[in-house]
Structures are given as C-alpha cells and as structure tokens.
Chains A and B, each alone.
Chain A
Amino acid sequence: MKQSVFLGTLAATTLFAGVALAQGTSTLETVKARGELNCGVNTGLVGFAAPDASGNWQGFDVALCKAVAGAIFGDASKVVYIPTTSSDRFEQLTSGKIDFLIRNTTWTFSRDTDLKMDFVGVNYYDGQGFMVRKDLGVSSAKELNGATICIQTGTTTELNLADYFKANNMTYTAVPIETNAEGEQQYLAGACDAYTTDASGLAATRAAFADPENHIILPEIISKEPLGPAVRHGDSAWGDVIRWTMNALIAAEEFGITSANIDELATSSQNPEVQRLLGTSGELGKMIGLEADWAKNAIKASGNYGEIFAATIGESTPIGLARGLNAQWTQGGLLYTPPFR
C-alpha cells in the first residue's frame, strides 16, 4: 500500500500536467492561443522589476512586458511575470518557459551567438561604475590602485573590473559577494573601499543609504552594458514583435506622443509617420501580424519611453537617474529608432 502511495503521487502528477500545445507553431501564434504573455523578469531589481505590497509588478523592464502585451492583446494586464535568476534565465528562455527575457541582461557577443539567443534591441544603456566613501579622498577610478573592491561574482562586472585594472596597470583586492544587498552591507561595514556594479544599480544603492551625502559615485564608466530584451534564436517574426514594440515606445517619445494625448493624436495628427504608427493609416499592424492599433495599445500601456523612464528610474524617483545615453538621438543620446514605414 505504501508503495502505491508513492506511485500514486507520481501518476497523479500527470493529472495536473497541462495541455501540450502543438509543436512547430511560431511563438506569436502560441502566445495568442494562450491568451497570456510569459515575461521573464528579474526576481527583484530596484526600478527595473519589483512587485509592490499587493503583488503587482512594476518597473522599467516590466513596462516593456506590459507594452508587448498591449501590442498583442490590446490589454496590458495579460502578462504572467516569471521571476528568473541570473543562473537560470537563459535556460528558461531556451526551454520555452518564458516567451521573452527582459531582465537587465547585457547584450554580448557570446550570448547572442553561442547561447543561441537573439537580442532585439537595447532598452537601457548602462555601464559599470564605482562608489566610494567621500572621506576616502578619491575623485577618480584611476586613483583606486591597491583598493579593496566589493564585486558580485560570476557577472560581467567581475571581468570588466579585471580588464580595467589590468589596462591601467593597477592592482586591487576583490571581496567577492553574492547579491547586491550583501554588497551594500559589506561596503557599509567597511569591508571594502569601493563598491562596483552597473551605474544604475549604484545610484539606487546610494539613494537607499542612511547618509547618501557621504558617498560619491566616481565619474568613470568602465564598461558598456547595453541591456535589452532577448528572444530565442530562430523565430524572427516574434523577435520583430518585441523589437518594434520597443521602437514604437521610443518613436512615440520622439514624436511627442504621450499616454495623455495619444487618442487625440490618433485621430487628428497630420504627421504621416504618426498616423502609420498609430494605425490611422497604412497597414503596419498587418505586416507584423498584429491588429492595426497595436502600437497605440503598446504606448497606452505605460506611456512612451520617456514617460516610462521618468516614472520608474528617472530623476523624480528616489533612484534619480539622468537620461544620459538613454536620451533621444536628437537630445544627444543613443535612442534612434528606424522609421515606421
């Protein structure tokens, strides 16, 4: 009888296994059939992806999930947020548990080629920086020779740090840490002179200190960290949906389309590209396999790129990031979307 209990549990599991979806269909068809978008996000990163007290996900990356759901279903709430860790995120994507990955993941050569992923764009240009205590009397990363530095293991930041110190003929002692929260503790406890991670993370960390005025972020940015959404290799149609949803958000900012005036512009705008983007004229939606008002719904989800930035990580938030590289190309930044034509 006891044996049958065990076999029973094994067998009962199959009861609850879901319906196997037909193989070979494109991701877009699968997502449409499922009626929900499985969005792989960070388990928690300030400003980028975090659940609030009632469990609603919010943040810069999360906003793109909502926009994509808006583009596909016309309903930004049809997203299932699947928290992924830095160690299982790529497997979650390749095994099909998530439809696309938007988890502040750096676009690198090896990830794009060797890991068989397709990065479809950059939604945030980040770079690695240093934070030190003011009383250390250091004003440039070049003066950090011989310093002890807290660094997260197994990340690109660890490799960047080694490269940078080698290139500048300096030495350092690494204090390995596991998570950002642990790094803050170590740094505050004086276990290391400097703390290094992505500049966006540094700003958020410093803002959370009891005495932010006693810490400075050094001006040097020692690496390029283009963060962007990734999809599986080999499904270009699905990659297009993510890429152009993101481009639509960027274009909306460029054209001055906001969540407030979008309905008005959709009917009254005389700009042909705005008309095409919002589906008032042309057949862009049909070409990408979505409704005519796909971009309109994507922008409505949480606003254009600038609105999302301002609401989640911008200067009015506690994180207080400036637009910097993430400004429109017309403002000296790198955001430059191909034309909607």
Chain B
Amino acid sequence: MNTSTSTFVRTEMLPQQAPPITEAGAVKWLRENLFSSVLNTILTILGVAAVAYLVMHIAPWLSRSVWNANTLSECRQIITERYGEGATGACWAVIRERWPQYLFGFYPSHLYWRPVLAFVLLCVAVAPVLFDKLPRKMLWFSLVYPAVGFWLLWGGSVWVPVMALAGFAIGYAAARIVKPLAGTIIATIAAVLAPVLWWLFLAGPAADAMQSILPVALQAVRSREFGGFVLAFTIGFTGIAFSLPLGIMLALGRQSDMFIVNKLSVGFIEFIRGVPLITLLFTASLLLNYFLPPGTDFDIILRVIIMVVLFAAAYIAEVVRGGLAALPRGQYEAADALGLDYWKAQRLIIMPQALKISIPGIVSTFIGLFKDTTLVVFVGLLDPLKGITDAVRASTDWKGIYWEPYIFVGTIFFVFCFAMSRYSMYLEGKLKTDHR
C-alpha cells in the first residue's frame, strides 16, 4: 500500500549550528576554569582584585624609574620634576652607580677581567656535565677547572693549583703501582694516603721550588676583597660541585654494612642536619680561631666553603638515600647475579637509577645552598643581598634607599635558581624511561 509519501525521516542534513555560547571559546574556558561554582567565582574575583591592587601600587612606582643620578636626593629631585610634588618612584641609579661593587665587591678594579674570565670558563666547564651531546673530551677541562678557577680568582703562583692537581695524579699512580704488588684494598689506601701526604708536606715546598725556577704568577687577591656576586657564586658553585660527590659517599656510607663507616656517616649526617647553618658559619669564622695556633691565617672563604659543603652534603646524603630506598631489591640482586663488584654495581646499576629519582630533591638542595650563601654576611663577608647593600646604604649618597637593592639582588638570584629548576625538569624529562 503506497499511501502518503510524508515521512518522519529527514532526507537532507540540517546546516551545522554553532555550539551553545556556553560550550565554546573564551566563555567556555572562563566558565570551566574561573566561574565553575559560586565558591570559585568568589575566589576568582578576590584573586583578580589582589593582583590588580598589587599592580596598581607597584606599577606607578616602577614606571617612574630613574636610572641616571648620583645620589638618592638627586633621584628624588628628578622624580619630583618629572611627575610633580609627592610622586614616588624607583631609583635604580643606585644599581648603576654601585654595579661593580654588587658584582665584584672590593675586588681590585683593574683585575675585573679575572672573575669574568673565571665565570666564562665555568660555563665551558659545566656545559659538558649538563649536556651529554657535547664532546666528552671537554670533561677533562671540567676536571681541571677548579684549579683554573682558583688561580684566576685568588691569583698568586700558578704552581700552587698545579701542585694541588698533581696530588690526584700521584694518587692514581700510587694505585696503579701498588695494586699488582699488594692487592685492591692496600691500593685504595695508597691512593688516598699518597695524595694527602703530598698535599700536607710536599706540595707547598714543591710549588715554591717551581715558582723559583719558572715564576708564573698573577697578582694575588685576598679573600676579604671578595664580595657581591663573585663571592656568592664562588661559594655557591664550589659548594654545589663538592657537596654532590660527598653527599653520595655519605648516603652509601649510611647504607653500608660496615659498622664504623655506617655509624660515622649516620653521626655526621644527623649532627650536621641538626645544627643551623649559621652555627656552622660562626664556628668556622670564630671558634676555629681559638683552636688554631695564633696568627694562623686560615682563609675565611675557604672555611665558609668547607662548612657549606658539609652542610649541603648532609642534606644530599639523605636525598640520595631516599633514591636508594626507592629502588626495588631486585636491582641489587640483579647486579650481584651479574657478578659485579660493589663499586661497579653502584656505578652501573644502582646510582644511575637512584640519582634519577633524586633529581628534584638534589636540585632543591642546590637551590637552597645557593641562596644560603647570603648568610655569610653574619661572619663579616660582604654578600650581595645584605653585606653590599648595607655598605651602599652607609654612604651618605644612598642612605635611605630600601627596596631597589633588594629587588635587584632578588632578581639575579631568581634568574639562576629558576634556571637550575628548569634544567632539572629538562633532565627529568630526558631520563624518563617509564610509561607512567
């Protein structure tokens, strides 16, 4: 029966309609992210109000910046002339005038090229450690860099750092010579003992002797002439470079079955972590003076660096121990099954995994260490944040300036800490092997 041709089924497509306004574009995003509920709406409004309040108060101050003036009163005068009576503005002229002091402290001005060169070489030395695409041969320079950096910063005879480096060669040679004669354990002891004896008793006279034969020397710069960011970077980067290996050794020591090694590591870590860094710094700067023979001039920056390294190493040790604890037991057993000895197992199987897990914690410790370098102000060293700033404020020209130096120094610290943080994220991404 062929009746009506009318049908309930459409034969042609309707034209597409735009989605409802609440389900697309900016409105959707706003609704979903900012106004999804009453509470969220209130929070959004409060948040925007807070940001607006801050910007309204800071932006005019920042926009009225003065870069060219020689005193604070000159700054104020310029701001008054430009923006009328009662206007306030930022006086960055203090940074401009005291720029060398913030960077170099009291480092002799004709030698500024030395810390600059040391910094450039530091970048070269660090690059192959950070990025594995660079030629591996560059690592040799990284190993030598501490001596080069030391010589550039402190100056003096070139033979001092050379003889210090020679200690490592001596240790290596001692191990190679003794091993076939007396076995691994004796060779390890020789590798440690020979350089220590060399450094303690022979390196100094040897350096003097070489200096008299072939004098190569830079003008010596004393530690108390260091200041500002040169000081912060010197302490910070040395601390970072030395605290990681020491921290790993301590973590392994704490995991060790050997009674004395274990207890010494535990005692050291718990003691250092239980004491504020300032206490250690005061100990380094004041208490040691009473123990050392009178007149001994044990370099203050070196003392501070040692304390900072010990402090950071104790934290690193615990971070790395966390990484070690996270490894399944099977990894250790697999290493044993392959017949690897302890050090090979650590180097090839355990540490690569444990360190990968520990990266965020390690980098946090490094960032903390870098920022803690400002604490050296309490032992009379001129750190950039407070030491140099107080010194700048103490001149009649700049007395009364408050926020600008803090903002400037804070910005520089932020740049470096943020870079460290981003690098650690890059590294985590690169080393990621699981499929979570």
Contact = CB atoms under 8 A, between A and B. Distances in A.
B394 A50 contact: yes
Nearest to A25: B295
Interface stretch (A65-73, A92-100, A140-148, A156-164): A92-100
A74 B398 CA distance: 33
Contacts of A318: 396, 399
Contact of B72 (A47, A49, A208): A208
A82 B290 CA distance: 18
B302 A13 contact: yes
Interface stretch (A16-24, A253-261, A271-279): A16-24
A330 interface: no
Nearest to A21: B295
Nearest to B386: A179
For this complex, into which size category does the number of interface residues on chain A fall? 35 or more
Interface string B76-111: 100000000000100000000110110001100100
A30 B167 contact: no
A53 B101 contact: yes
B224 A11 contact: no
A43 B72 contact: no
Contacts of B199: 8, 11-12, 14-15
B382 to A, nearest CB: 7
A15 B105 CA distance: 25
A45 interface: yes
A96 B295 contact: yes
Interface stretch (A83-91, A241-249, A289-297): A83-91
Which one of A1, A4, A208, A210 has the highest number of Cβ atoms from chain B below 10 Å of its Cβ?
A4
A226 interface: no
B191 interface: yes
Interface string A117-144: 0000000000000000000000000000
B302 A16 contact: yes
A80 B294 CA distance: 18
Interface string B385-399: 001001111111001
Nearest to A34: B295
Contacts of B309: 9
A43 B286 CA distance: 17
B286 A91 contact: yes
Given A4-B192, A8-B195, A83-B382, A55 B400 contact: no
B235 to A, nearest CB: 14
Contacts of A184: 400, 402
A208 B249 CA distance: 53
Nearest to A178: B386
Nearest to A56: B106
Contacts of A13: 298-299, 302, 306
A3 interface: yes
A264 interface: no
Nearest to A43: B390
B204 interface: yes
Nearest to B390: A44
A317 B71 CA distance: 14
Interface in B183-203: 191-192, 195-196, 199-200, 203
Nearest to A95: B289
A47 B396 CA distance: 7
A277 B24 CA distance: 94
B246 interface: yes
A43 B387 contact: yes
Nearest to B223: A16
Contacts of B402: 181, 184-185
B245 interface: yes
B294 A88 contact: no
Nearest to A208: B400
Interface in B230-273: 242, 245-246, 248-249
Nearest to B71: A318
A31 B292 CA distance: 19
* Pairs of residues from A and B, 5 with the lowest C-beta to C-beta distance, nearest first: A44-B394, A208-B400, A18-B297, A21-B295, A95-B289
Given A5-B245, A17-B299, A45-B394, 13 more contacts: A4-B192, A9-B309, A12-B167, A15-B204, A16-B302, A19-B297, A23-B294, A50-B396, A55-B109, A83-B380, A181-B390, A181-B393, A181-B402
Interface of B: 72, 76, 88, 97-98, 100-101, 105-106, 109, 154, 160, 163-164, 167-168, 171, 191-192, 195-196, 199-200, 203-204, 207, 224, 242, 245-246, 248-249, 282, 285-286, 289-290, 293-299, 302, 306, 309, 377-380, 382, 387, 390-396, 399-400, 402
14 contacts: A1-B191, A4-B168, A4-B171, A5-B242, A12-B203, A13-B306, A14-B200, A15-B160, A15-B199, A17-B299, A20-B293, A43-B382, A208-B72, A210-B400
